[in-house]
């Protein structure tokens, strides 16, 4: 079977389409395989066409182990996340096929590849090029229209769990306290995003006042003090993101 011919016919039938709610943008030459973000390399496909194209790409890149692995990953995640999207239903056979290939190629699922990945990592063979990633992202964003950029920013902020996002922000800007119980001399450590009033009987604002104006002395004789105080843009406080830069 000529997989490339079938793939090309689907792409040709989609040429000239514009962005529509039920169409998905597809890189003719996959971006992970060297394809650009130029409009000449982009086409809008239906969800069914998009899935079929990724099935075909696994076959087309069968002779290139690196590209084939990337296409298997793309197919698996599409199978996993797109079922039911825009009316698209993935058969159990297609899902099983994508899942089986993914397990064979995924170092976290295949014990042989997992061990090889661990050895390569210890040997320092994997290097993340932050400069290249930054350049690629910048070039990608340049191609977006103002409307597309606005939609991208809206999705990045609103697509996740907002409760968890707010909690993560609080934890990233956390102040750590130490409470000394006067009658037992016992110490309790807690963070500003914990239930401060339940622990101390005071709000965070009241604790700040007692520390600044009363040397941390509470009315019941207990002593409160800062162990770590968030001051804004302080890299030593709260959760730190270590990206190697």
> pLDDT (tens digit, 9 = 90+) per residue, 107-164?
666 677 778 878 887 887 777 676 777 888 888 888 888 888 888 777 766 666 677 7
Q: How confident is the model at residue 238 (pLDDT cuts 50, 70, 90)?
A: very low
Residue 16 has pLDDT above 80, yes or no: yes
Structure tokens at 101: 């290939």
Alpha carbons 138 and 8: distance in angstroms, whole number: 30
Model confidence at 56, pLDDT cuts 50, 70, 90, reads: very high
Residue 241 has pLDDT above 50, yes or no: no
Q: Which residues pair with 24 in a beta bridge?
A: 45
Between helices 65-81 and 47-60, what is the axis angle to 10°?
A: 150
Instruction: Give the lowest-confidence range in 19-23, 59-63, 174-178, 230-234.
Output: 230-234
Three-class SS state of 95? helix
Q: What residues form DSSP beta bridges with 235? A: none
Stronger pLDDT, 206 or 114, i.e. the higher one: 206
User: Minimal CA–CA distance to 175: which of 236, 217, 243?
Assistant: 236
Residue with tokens 């800062």: 226
Q: What is the pLDDT of residues 165-181, one digit of tens each?
A: 676 666 667 788 999 99
Residue 64 gets the label, from left (phi > 0), alpha (psi -120 to 50) or beta, of beta
- Sketch the domain layout of the chain as residue ranges: 3-127, 170-228
- The helix (run of H) or strand (run of E) holding residue 42 is strand 42-46
Planar angle of CA 184, 187, 188, nearest 5 degrees: 125
Straight-line distance from the first to the last Cα atom of the chain, in angstroms, rounded to the nearest whole number: 48
Q: Report yes or no: 226 and 196 within 8 Å, Cβ to Cβ.
A: no
Residue 9 CB neighbours (<10 A): 11
| pLDDT for position 121 | 78
Q: Kindly state the percentage of the chain with pLDDT values over 70.
A: 73
State pLDDT tens for residues 74-97. Answer: 887 777 665 554 555 666 566 666
């Amino acid at each position: 079977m000529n997989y490339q011919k079938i793939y090309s016919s689907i792409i040709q039938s989609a040429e000239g389409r514009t962005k529509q709610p039920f169409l998905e943008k597809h890189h003719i030459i996959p971006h992970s395989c060297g394809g650009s973000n130029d409009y000449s390399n982009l086409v809008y496909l239906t969800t069914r066409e998009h899935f079929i194209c990724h099935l075909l790409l696994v076959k087309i890149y069968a002779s290139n182990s690196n590209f084939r692995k990337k296409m298997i990953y793309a197919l698996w995640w599409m199978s996993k996340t797109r079922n039911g999207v825009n009316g698209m239903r993935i058969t159990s056979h297609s899902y099983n096929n994508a899942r089986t290939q993914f397990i064979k190629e995924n170092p976290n699922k295949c014990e042989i590849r997992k061990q090889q990945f661990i050895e390569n990592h210890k040997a320092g063979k994997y290097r993340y090029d932050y400069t290249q990633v930054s350049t690629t992202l910048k070039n990608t964003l340049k191609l977006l229209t103002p409307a597309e950029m606005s939609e991208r920013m809206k999705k990045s902020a609103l697509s996740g769990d907002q409760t968890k996002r707010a909690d993560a922000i609080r934890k990233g800007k956390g102040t750590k306290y130490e409470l000394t119980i006067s009658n037992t001399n016992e110490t309790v450590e807690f963070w500003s995003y914990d239930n401060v009033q339940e622990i101390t009987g005071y709000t965070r604002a009241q604790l700040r006042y007692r520390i600044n104006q009363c040397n941390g002395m509470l009315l019941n004789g207990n002593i409160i003090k800062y162990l770590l105080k968030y001051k804004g843009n302080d890299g030593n406080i709260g959760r730190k993101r270590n990206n190697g830069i």
